[in-house]
Amino acid sequence: MVGRKPPSRKGSMADVPKDLFAQIQRLEELFFVPGQKLKEITAHFKDELVKGLSKEGGSIPMNPTWCMGFPTGNETGTYLALDMGGTNLRVCEILLPEEKGEFDIIQSKYRMPEELKSGTADELWAYVADCLQQFIEYHHEGEDLDHLPLGFTFSYPATQEYIDHGILQTWTKGFDISGVEGKDIVPPFQAALAERGLPIKLSALINDTTGTLIASAYTDPEMKIGCIFGTGCNAAYMEDCGSIPKLEHMNLDPSLLMAINCEWGAFDNERVILPRTQYDIIIDKESPRPGQQIFEKMVAGLYLGEIFRLVLLDLHENPDVCIFENIDVSKLKKPYTLDSSFLSAIEEDPFENLTEVEELFQKTLSIDTTKPERELVRRLAELIGTRAARLSSCGVAAICLKKGYKSCHVGADGSVFNKYPHFKARGAQALREILDWPKEVRKDPVDIRAAEDGSGVGAALIAALTLKRVQEGQVAGIRDPEAMLKGTSAAGGNKQEVVVPK
């Protein structure tokens, strides 16, 4: 299998006319990334991870998070967690009980209105605070809450000098809210909470990947990397402080561990190694932040449907190709009409004549398809999904090579990982090719598996770890240790008791 294209449906191409067949072959050449190329990408990726940690920096931000070390499984207390994702906003209350590795969670989900993503900062923070307020009123009406500690999962690249601080480097995932980039997001967020009189104390601002890493490590000591393969794509891992030259001035104990939020979506922003197609170039150009998140734009869920749409439109407009002849393709002309679930559905069609694909095209795009056209779209979905999985594995392999991990568990979450057909198997196959595991190795040494809930349990655990650290007098990366403990009933010791709602 090494370096060969993935198999397409046997015999199904027999009735595909020459022009479409030639296009299928062209698309295979364009989108398939052979094993050798994956290895080259991985080697460069590893160098870029190292560069990101250096004083000079590189295109991958490698953000220090001030989440220091793994959980023990003995963390306790009650916490709030807020997750501002690309699609939903989730508020959770998490109880970490005395039993090792256990948790209880209650949660509410709120839709992130599309207009908010390109609105103003005030509207954003007002919406977030309103959701928190609704949650508190519903679950704790009339109770006298004593500064509940909050872990806020803010899944965008942020520079953190402290764990309860974060300067947004750039919006990603199509967000474009003015007046937020380059500023600490915590003060306006806290101001919105204060305006509503909410008794909440931000203990930790975290990334979804760091949350995923910590939540998964809570129950699995072999867990070394946390990944999100969803609307966006990224990973976090633990680094020893001695290997973070850009923090040298802080004189941290070199043996301490700190989670690094890689923000690997920015890999190859300088465009030297990724095999970009004309379609990837258009996606980038038309995005709110051209030149940024170049890797993410090839692999993340937000973009897969759009790549697919651009290819189909290009074929339709090509005079040498007969596809969707004499059909109104106006719906296909609308940017971002198709999301990655459309591709998932195409890949999941179990029928030989692809009747589900036929219905999908009629329902979503008002396009009647012929069987050969459906064969092409099916192959195209496979190629785009396969490329995303294979390139994503380069990032995982690069971290393993950087850290010298011969075997470990990688916790993964996100809609693409959980819902896109064959993503896991394709990613695992790519890892085998990149890391050259001998054929006789039965169990993959680096195992990418479904993670625990990072932005709920992970955020709570990081808040707990932070408070415990402050109680023990380890205050690196804590802006105001006294203020952080004030109002919490944390008493120190291993089994701390942090603010339980009365």
Dist. CA 133–CA 91, nearest whole Å: 10
* Separation of CA 282 from chain center: 22
Is there binding between residue 78 and ligand BGC (CB under 6 A)? Answer: no
Query: Which of 59, 172, 216, 386 touches ligand BGC (CB under 6 A)?
Result: 172
Dist. CA 470–CA 214, nearest whole Å: 18
Is there binding between residue 207 and ligand BGC (CB under 6 A)? Answer: yes
Write each residue from 4 to 43 as x if it is in contact with ligand BGC (CB under 6 A), else as -, in one continuous string.
Answer: ----------------------------------------
Task: Give me the least distance between CB of 354 and ligand BGC, in Å please.
Answer: 32
Block residue for tokens 């997750």: 83
Is there binding between residue 232 and ligand BGC (CB under 6 A)? Answer: yes
Is there binding between residue 63 and ligand BGC (CB under 6 A)? Answer: no
Amino acid at 150: L
Residues in the chain: 502
Alpha helices in 54-146 (DSSP H): 121-140
Nearest CB to ligand BGC, comparing residues 227 and 252: 227
Nearest CB to ligand BGC, comparing residues 346 and 416: 416
Token pair belonging to 291? 């030149």
The β-bridge partners of 120 are: 178
Token pair belonging to 60? 């991958």
User: What's the Cα-to-Cα distance from 352 to each of 260, 346, 355, 357, 386, rounded to whole Å?
Assistant: 46, 12, 8, 11, 21
Task: Give me the least distance between CB of 210 and ligand BGC, in Å please.
Answer: 9
Nearest CB to ligand BGC, comparing residues 96 and 388: 388
User: What's the Cα-to-Cα distance from 375 to each of 191, 329, 341, 348, rounded to whole Å?
Assistant: 55, 18, 18, 13
Stretch that binds ligand BGC, among 229-237, 304-312, 366-374, 403-411 (CB under 6 A): 229-237
Token pair belonging to 135? 């949650």
Nearest CB to ligand BGC, comparing residues 49 and 490: 49
Is there binding between residue 292 and ligand BGC (CB under 6 A)? Answer: no
Query: Which of 48, 239, 280, 296 touches ligand BGC (CB under 6 A)?
Result: 296
Cα torsion 425, 228, 381, 422 to 10°: value is 20
Task: Give me the least distance between CB of 237 and ligand BGC, in Å please.
Answer: 13
Q: Is the dihedral of CA 159, 267, 253, 409 positive or negative?
A: positive
Query: Which of 48, 184, 208, 373 touches ligand BGC (CB under 6 A)?
Result: 208
Block residue for tokens 């403990």: 485
Block residue for tokens 């779209």: 377
Is there binding between residue 216 and ligand BGC (CB under 6 A)? Answer: no
Task: Give me the least distance between CB of 365 and ligand BGC, in Å please.
Answer: 27
Is there binding between residue 173 and ligand BGC (CB under 6 A)? Answer: yes
Nearest CB to ligand BGC, comparing residues 286 and 368: 286
Is there binding between residue 234 and ligand BGC (CB under 6 A)? Answer: yes
Query: Which of 91, 94, 150, 228 touches ligand BGC (CB under 6 A)?
Result: 228
Query: Which of 263, 382, 433, 452 touches ligand BGC (CB under 6 A)?
Result: 263
Strand order through the sheet with 88-96: 104-111, 88-96, 77-84, 148-154, 200-206
Q: 233-240 and 223-229: which strand pairing? A: antiparallel
Residue 333 DSSP symbol: G
- Per CB under 6 A, contacts with ligand BGC among 100-159 are 155-157
Nearest residue to ligand BGC, by Cβ distance, number only: 232
Tell me which residues touch ligand BGC (CB under 6 A). 155-157, 172-173, 207-209, 228, 230, 232, 234, 263, 265, 296
